[in-house]
Amino acid sequence: MFESPLTFRVDDLTGDATRALVAFHLAGMHDSSPPESVHALDVDGLRHPSVTFWSAWIDDEIAGIGALKALDPADAAEQRGELKSMRVHDRFRGRGVGRAILRHLMAQAVARGMTSLWLETGTPDDFLPARRLYESEGFVECGPFGDYAFDPFSVFMTRRLP
């Protein structure tokens, strides 16, 4: 696990470490998928009012990032959320940071009254660890949602929340 506690910060995306990890995440998405199949948000997209972005830290080092996007207007009967831009810094991979980020985002969604979470991830083997993580936390494959369309490089998943 972690030698020091993992702490989460709502992040305004102005810090160099955060921006560097977002850029690294986007570069990785473009390395693994054709451009039309990259659905990761850039810094401007992560600053949209419907998105809350967190960075995860161990001491003074960024360990990972993740975002929660509201899919429905506040007055909608159902409140759904989408997981966006989950990434663990390579230095912290294999130590439970990804699961901790996922559980933090799920807890935040529940606290906001969301009834379900949705996500899009890739089909190439590079994405297999992410798909296994999501499955281990109760996510199941589904069809495209929101503005997504069928894409052979995408896997769509969802999970009901308590």
- 146 φ, ψ (degrees, to nearest 5): 55, -130
pLDDT band at 56 (very low <50, low <70, confident <90, very high): very high
pLDDT at 2 over 90: no
pTM over 0.85: yes
pLDDT for the residue numbered 3: 72
Confidence of residue 38 (pLDDT cuts 50, 70, 90): very high
End-to-end CA distance of the chain: give it in Å, rounded: 27
Residue 138: CA count within 13 A, CB half-sphere? 9
What are the domain boundaries of the chain?
Answer: 6-160
Q: Is the pLDDT of residue 1 over 90?
A: no
For residue 8, the model assigns a pLDDT of: 98
One-letter identity of residue 143: G
Residue reference for tokens 């921006």: 19
Contact 83, 130 (CB under 8 A): no
Percentage of residues in the chain having pLDDT higher than 70: 99
Per residue, the 3-state secondary structure of 48-87, as one string, reads CCCEEEEEEEECCEEEEEEEEEECCCCCCCCCEEEEEEEE
pLDDT of residue 138: 98
What is the rounded CA–CA span in Å between residue 85 and residue 95?
A: 19
Cβ neighbourhood burial of 11 (10 Å; 0-12, 13-18, 19+):
buried
Q: Which residues neighbour 120 within 8 Å (Cβ) at sequence distance 6 or greater? A: 39, 82, 148, 154, 155, 156, 157
Instruction: Compute the distance between CA of residue 64 and CA of residue 103 in angstroms, rounded to an integer.
Output: 13
Instruction: Note the pLDDT tens digit of each residue in 90-141.
Output: 999 999 999 999 999 999 999 999 999 999 999 999 999 999 999 999 999 9
- Residue 59: pLDDT band (50, 70, 90) is very high
The CATH architecture to which 6-160 belongs is 3-Layer(aba) Sandwich (3.40)
pLDDT at 4: 82
